[in-house]
Amino acid sequence: MNKEIQLLDLGRKDYKDTWEYQESLFKDILDLKIKNRREELDLETPNYFLFVEHPHVYTLGKSGDFNNLLLSEKELENKGATFYKINRGGDITYHGPGQIVGYPILDLENFFTDIHKYLRFLEEVFIRVLADYGLTGTRSEGETGVWLGVGTPFARKICALGVRASRWVTMHGFALNVNADLGYFDNIIPCGIRGKAVTSLNVELGLEEMDLEEVKEKIKTHFTELFESQFIAFKAVTV
């Protein structure tokens, strides 16, 4: 089992371009797994992890409700935002500057074959990151992601998750609000959940702005601990 994960930070990149890039890596892993099965081979499958920061964009999961987007096409344009209906789970969410988005494209057969466990591990990464900053992040029953203040009138979501998996290969991932402009969440019903707020790490810590690179390092540390893996420099893999 290959527990090395090729890490690539894309910087700020258009959502659609990144989605297409994810799809190409995802397909390469699937094609290799099919080749292994058909030709009775045992070629090692790669794993990838993409960090990215997107320009303002709203994305709707395959089972999401379009009515949870509260803007017209013209209003989207006026706000400099785009919209895509995509093939992950979950409902609607927002991505934008000041948010750390991560796309683990893993062959879970290199780790464990349990999607529920995979989602709980992703949540645990951010529960541990928040703990590093003295914050108590928790899960909210029946609602994927990481929250603060669950069980109080001030419950607020700080990290959203949405994934797709096929033949145990994953794509899409997480979005952690670090220095996010929370006003953009007013234009949607986030994740289709009414009556709960959204927050950002800098707001919770009373800071104007946080160091995104510092937060990424903490994500990497906890991810590799939980998945008993290691990050290596990204290298192209041809199937």
What residue type is assigned to position 24 of the chain? S
pTM of the model: 0.93
CA gap 155, 56 in Å, rounded? 24
User: Which stretches within 39-96 are classed as H helix?
Assistant: 73-78
Which residues does residue 99 pair with via DSSP β-bridges, in sequence order? 177
Which residues does residue 103 pair with via DSSP β-bridges, in sequence order? 50
Ligand-binding site membership of 184 (annotated): no
Ligand-binding site membership of 160 (annotated): yes
Q: Which domains does the chain have, with CATH numbers?
A: 4-233 (3.30.930.10)
Ligand-binding site membership of 206 (annotated): no
Per-residue pLDDT tens over the stretch 30-72: 999 999 999 999 999 999 999 999 999 999 888 788 888 888 8
Q: How far is Cα of residue 112 from the mean position of the Cα atoms in its chain? A: 19
Query: Which are the catalytic amino acids?
Result: 191
Per-residue pLDDT tens over the stretch 60-117: 888 788 888 888 889 988 989 999 998 887 788 899 999 999 999 999 999 999 999 9
Q: Compute the Cα dihedral for 83, 116, 112, 157 and give only its sign.
A: positive
CA gap 70, 199 in Å, rounded? 19
Per-residue pLDDT tens over the stretch 163-187: 999 999 999 999 999 999 999 998 8
